[in-house]
Amino acid sequence: MSYVTSRDGTRIFYKDWGSGRPVVFSHGWPLDADAWDAQMLFLLHNGYRVIAHDRRGHGRSDQPAGGHDMNTFADDLSTLIEALDLTSAALVGHSTGGGEVARYVGRHGTRRIGRIVLIGAVPPLMLKTAANPEGLPIDVFDGIRAGVAADRPQFFQDLAKAFHGYNRPGATPSHGVIDSFCLLGMRGGIRPEYDCIEAFSETDFNDDLRKFNVPTLFIHGDDDQIVPFVASASAASKRVRNSTLKVYAGGSHGICTTQADRVNADLLAFLED
């Protein structure tokens, strides 16, 4: 397996397939790089080099006691991009991974980046504050912490249903998707996943978004129960010059899985525009 080593000695697992223009994927919480299987295979078959890493503490990467914050996540991403000497890369981030991408731009700029795609992403800020009244109250995130601490397997089983919209009337749940979600979640460490809740919910990405200076695509479902559209892509896209917003009517947080064909087509069209 392939690894890069971060500044603090943490080994970050990554996959690197194909040739051509590179596309680098950052996954959501509590998953790992395998959550991007549908997108990576599709773009690989369309001539792209596809790269995805497991965030520290998740999947096959090391599980250090610390560093589970957006600054460190962004620096780990930078370590990967520098180690592979990528140029004109497209960064694609889902959910927490969208925050990681935004903070990467804030800290490291776009010297090596040609395009950005944020899907169901957490920026500009998930937490409800006086300045961010559309955000979610802290009780929501305290409930996630409580669920992870008390019974992580059952919590992930329940979360997978809302994540993919399977709790909506008329939905047809895929037990395979639910099982896969739980498997990827359980491959990560409980300490890193617990700490990451604060990182994805309380980090303010407004300043990072203002530093975006390459073509950017936002994709978001308007029935996203995990990262509500109004407080995320609707607001974030207004802060990014030269950005495009695509809203999937009835789309869940898990559209990369439940509407993979549509996401793939929109990704390819944006990359080749």
Helix (H) / strand (E) element for 260: namely: helix 260-272
What pLDDT is recorded for position 155? 98
Count of CB atoms situated within 10 Å of the CB of 248: 21
What pLDDT is recorded for position 264? 98
Q: What tens digit of pLDDT does each residue of 60-112 get? A: 999 999 999 999 999 999 999 999 999 999 999 999 999 999 999 999 999 99
Query: In degrees rounded to 5, what are phi and psi of residue 202?
Result: -115, 0
Catalytic residues: 95, 224, 253
Per-residue pLDDT of the chain (273 residues; tens, 9 = 90+): 899 999 999 999 999 999 999 999 999 999 999 999 999 999 999 999 999 999 999 999 999 999 999 999 999 999 999 999 999 999 999 999 999 999 999 999 999 999 999 999 999 999 999 999 999 999 999 999 999 999 999 999 999 999 999 999 999 999 999 999 999 999 999 999 999 999 999 999 999 999 999 999 999 999 999 999 999 999 999 999 989 999 999 999 999 999 999 999 999 999 999
Question: Model-level pTM greater than 0.85?
Answer: yes
Nearest CA to 25 out of 6, 46, 52, 48 is that of 52
In angstroms, the CA 175 to CA 179 distance is: 6
Alpha-carbon torsion, ordered 118, 119, 122, 125, to 10 deg = 60
Coil/strand/helix, residue 239: helix
What pLDDT is recorded for position 121? 99
What pLDDT is recorded for position 1? 81
User: Domain 2-272, what architecture?
Assistant: 3-Layer(aba) Sandwich (3.40)
Query: In degrees rounded to 5, what are phi and psi of residue 40?
Result: -65, -45
Where are the strands (E) in the chain, listed by range? 2-5, 11-17, 22-26, 49-53, 89-94, 113-119, 216-221, 243-248
What pLDDT is recorded for position 9? 98
Q: Where are the domains of the chain?
A: 2-272
Q: Which amino acid is at 33?
A: A
